[in-house]
Every structure is written in C-alpha cells, then in structure tokens.
Structure 1
C-alpha cells in the first residue's frame, strides 16, 4: 500500500506541475498578445528603453517647482521700460505680421521666487543684437536689473550666470564676420550683476586664439 500511495502521489504531483506549466504558458501568450495589440509593434513604438527602466524602475522627469516660471509679453515689457533707450524701442517693430525681433529666455539668475527673464532685441533681416535686458520679479512686477545696448550685443543664461557677447567690427567687416568678440560673464551678487570673468577672441589673428582681457 505504501508503494501505491507513493506512486499515486508522484502521479498527482506530476499532473499538478503539468497544469501549472500549461497555465503559465497560456498567461505568457495572453500577455504577449496584449502587448502587441496596444501598439502593433510592441516596445518599438515607445523607443529605446532607459537604463532605469531596464533595471526595473520607471524614470520620470522631476517637475519644476510650482510658480517659478511665468511667461511674459516681452515686446510690451521692453516698450514700457523707461530704462530702454528710444533707439532700441524704434527698432522694436514687427518684421512681418505679428512677429517681432525679440529672443526671450527664462532662468534662475537672481535667486528670486520667479524665473528671471532675459530679452534680446535684434534687427529684422540680419538679426544683429541692438539691446539685451534682464528682468527680475519684484513684488509681482518685473524690474530691469541689467541692460547693455552697445550693438552688436547678445545675452544668454549659463546655469546661474549671465553671459554677454559683444562683437567688434572694423570698417570693412561684413555682418557675418566681426574682427573681435568679447564674452563677459556676470553673476548676481549683493542685489546686482557683478562682472566675474571675460575673454576676447581676435578673429583677425591666425587661428583666432582667445586671450583674456588685461586685468583678468
């Protein structure tokens, strides 16, 4: 009897394992069919997987803190700014339709509760920078905290620094080929932008090597 019992147990275990194996196979087929049915081409519809997804975790971008970014009407901001020269305001007219020659970027330059706004005003056609400005939110209104109007000039946000590029043309230089270019880096210190670095590139020299300005 013991032999029959052991044999019967083996048959029961074998049958159970077979049922489990069949069930697992059916589940795998169903999962594969569902994945194909959602996009037609499976995972390729989503592009290559990120490393974190392969590792078993889902990657998601960190959201920006609420309230740190507020879009502005840059054209009206410049036109109503008493610190902007009349000459720049005259250049600030529509090039075609309702397209104005302004370039706007947002970033944390001054450590305020709302992103600062950098506005570059350029000319229509050749897009030469005629004025660049930084606006900081102060009590819900934007205040001009930096300006440069020595054309050609253009500003960019570099991390938490402001970089201002000024180009110098000799009398016979075309717009596309200035003789020299100076890049000045500013950082917000003690409620103002302080100059912390600068370098100049002289394109008239062979190789166009960059050299620091005297005293830097």
Structure 2
C-alpha cells in the first residue's frame, strides 16, 4: 500500500468514526428522559400525530383509527394523573380509555407513570380495562409529547402535538423523518405507522387547528 493509499484509508476511517459519533449523539438527544421537574409540561390536551409498535400485527389490533385525542390532568391530590384517550374509528364509532396513573416510586433514569386503575368504554358500555401498562416520558419540544406505553403485549411509541398545533399538514409531514429516527434510536423497527392526517375530527369535538392570535 502506497503512502497516498494509507493516507486515504486513514481519512476514510476518521470520517466513518465521525459519522458514527454523530449518530450516537443524535440518538442520545432523542432518547433523553423527561426530567422529574418537568412533569407539569405533560398536562393539557394532545393529538396523536405519529405512532409505531413492536407488537406483531401492529396497528391491526386497533383497526381503522382516524384520530386519537388525549387529555392529561392532575387530580387534586397532586399525585394521581388521569390519562383520558378518545379514539375515533373510520365507522365513526368511538373508544374511550381512562387510566388513573401515578409517578413511579422506584428510582430510575426514566420518568415513568404507573397505571393504578383503568376503564374502557365502547358503544356506551364501560368495563374495566385489564391490559394496564406504564408510560415512559421523554424530552420533546414545548408543543410535543413523546411517550412509550408498555403493555403486557409490547410497546407503543406515541408522539403527540398539543391541541391547536396539530393541523399544519406540511409541518406534520416534515417531522416524519425525525419521528422515524427517534423510533429507531429507541429500538423500534419502523414498519407500519399510524399517521394523523391533520384534519380528522375527534370523538368529543371537532378538530379545529385555529390558534388564537395571542397563541400563534
């Protein structure tokens, strides 16, 4: 191998090393857990804009969902958190999951909410929801919420936009590559995705993307 060839090889190795380091750094930023002091940022109304799961069959277990709206509220005891999810299906039927959750008492590098009790309502019938799981919370933008829901069957990566910031279709599409990258960094294989279209209504109200002037 000539001196020039050795030099070119060294440059190539350095470039590969730099690229690998950049990928690791990017993944680390996308995998940061939500700090405990930032728990207040999760409260409010959210619209699911992108999701993926590692459960075999993927979104086939939740057929024909067109929108998923979530309210996160803190109870008066300042400990219990209500996760209220309303899913609108393509036949205009609704499913409503209400989970009462609390912060994990186990020390961890992740901020986790554990389910205390849950119900599901379909066709006006309310029943106990036994497939209760945990929510791991991740850092994201001020108008975004990123969680992993872990059930007995597997995991869901759920990415939300705050209601009022959910209907810019071009912006939603532009974020898909970052969502896919985050999913890969968190160990998901990007296959079948749930993608919100930016216009579908919700079970309990219309989807209005208009922000007030003082919120824009």
Fold similarity call, TM over 0.5: no
Larger radius of gyration: 1
Q: Which has the higher strand share?
A: 2
TM-score (norm. length: structure 2) = 0.29
| Greater relative CO, 1 or 2 (CA 8 Å, sep 6+) | 2
